[in-house]
Amino acid sequence: MFSRENSWKASFQRIVWLSALIVFLLLLIPIVRHIFFEQFGRWLYIFLFAFSTAALLTPVMTAIATKAGIVDIPGGRKIHSKVTPLLGGVAIIISFISALLANMILDTRDITLIAGGTVVAIVGLIDDWKNIRADYKLFIQIFVVILLIRSGIILNLFPIHTTWGYLLNAALSIIWIVGLTNAMNFIDGMDGLATGVSAIISLFLGLVAFQTNQPFMGWIAIAMLGSCLGFLPFNFSLHKRASIFLGDAGSTFVGFVLSALAIKAAWADNNPIVSFATPVLIFWVLIYDMAYISIERIISGKVKNFRDWIDYVGTDHIHHRLLAVFGDRRKVVLFIFFLCATLGISAIILRNARLIDGILTVLQAFLITVIVSILEYSGRKR
């Protein structure tokens, strides 16, 4: 049975790789690119370019990581059972940037966002290879976010032209981006989980972007969607363990870019409920997990100060908690996918909702969270 499943997975990945090669070569033909730009839309070209590039590069990164010894070794809080390469995120990063460059349209803030994500990814890559202290990584992430803020990527919840308003917006921007960057890294604890969640978040960010006539934001989201989906067949399977992981480089890059993209977006005009709740719903799974573990660790006395909070690692994240309920990792991953998609759909509905409808939609998301919390609690009692 093992060899049959292994053979099936290898055959599927081979089909994905060969299909990606054909698509990639076709997309390089100038007339094909012109047809896509004029007839089918840039978004489809960007998606296919990112998908095919990621699928082509992932086996290459697997070989490089294995040879270089950049691998994740089982043990401690890690629940995988075999040594696994860690450079999957590099394939996503290269395919993402390549797809946006192939589109040939970028504004200054897009370049700043991509550059910031690349710096965060480089730090993550070094951490994958040679461990870096958590406080050093946090300091670099905060510094990069400050540069983003200086470029104009900042929340606009308070009057931006007042000193207090600017400082509050800046502080919340740092908390949002740094928090979600690390939340994405934390959730990368099961095969395909962070990759799939990133793809779902990218999908809904893209839908909202095109719904609100923000093509630049949409193209970035679609590039990330294609990159994640091109990588996913090698990172998640219903029959076999992942052949490669995102690594810190990949998870922090994706988390940084998507959270910063949410700040860059214009969510609604003159509707504070929609403007606030839409990105919160799309990122709700990450926000919920980060809030849950922070509160639980403080109440239980596992962390007593900020330094403890930074350094603490444990098996109390949402995927660990749900594993006690379902008893199967793939079921946990699929459950979180559907949870993320459900809340994303709520965000789309919210776009055209009246004030009362918006409040009810947010209440619905809260009740869904309560249901999940009850499930988690029942799992702990077993």
Q: What are the distances in angstroms from CA 373 to CA 95, 183, 346, 370, 378?
A: 37, 18, 19, 5, 9
CA R_g for the chain:
20
**What is the CB neighbour count within 10 angstroms for residue 74?**
11
**Are the C-beta atoms of 179 and 135 separated by less than 8 Å?**
no
Write out the chain's pLDDT in tens, 382 residues.
445 555 655 677 888 889 999 999 999 999 999 999 988 889 999 999 999 999 999 999 999 999 988 888 775 555 556 788 989 999 999 999 999 999 878 888 889 999 999 999 999 999 888 888 888 999 999 999 999 999 999 988 888 889 899 999 999 999 999 999 999 999 998 999 999 999 999 999 999 999 888 999 999 999 999 999 999 999 998 777 888 999 999 999 999 999 999 998 777 666 667 777 889 999 999 999 999 988 888 888 888 777 777 777 778 889 988 998 888 899 999 999 999 999 999 888 887 777 787 788 888 888 998 999 888 887 766 6
**What is the CB neighbour count within 10 angstroms for residue 55?**
28
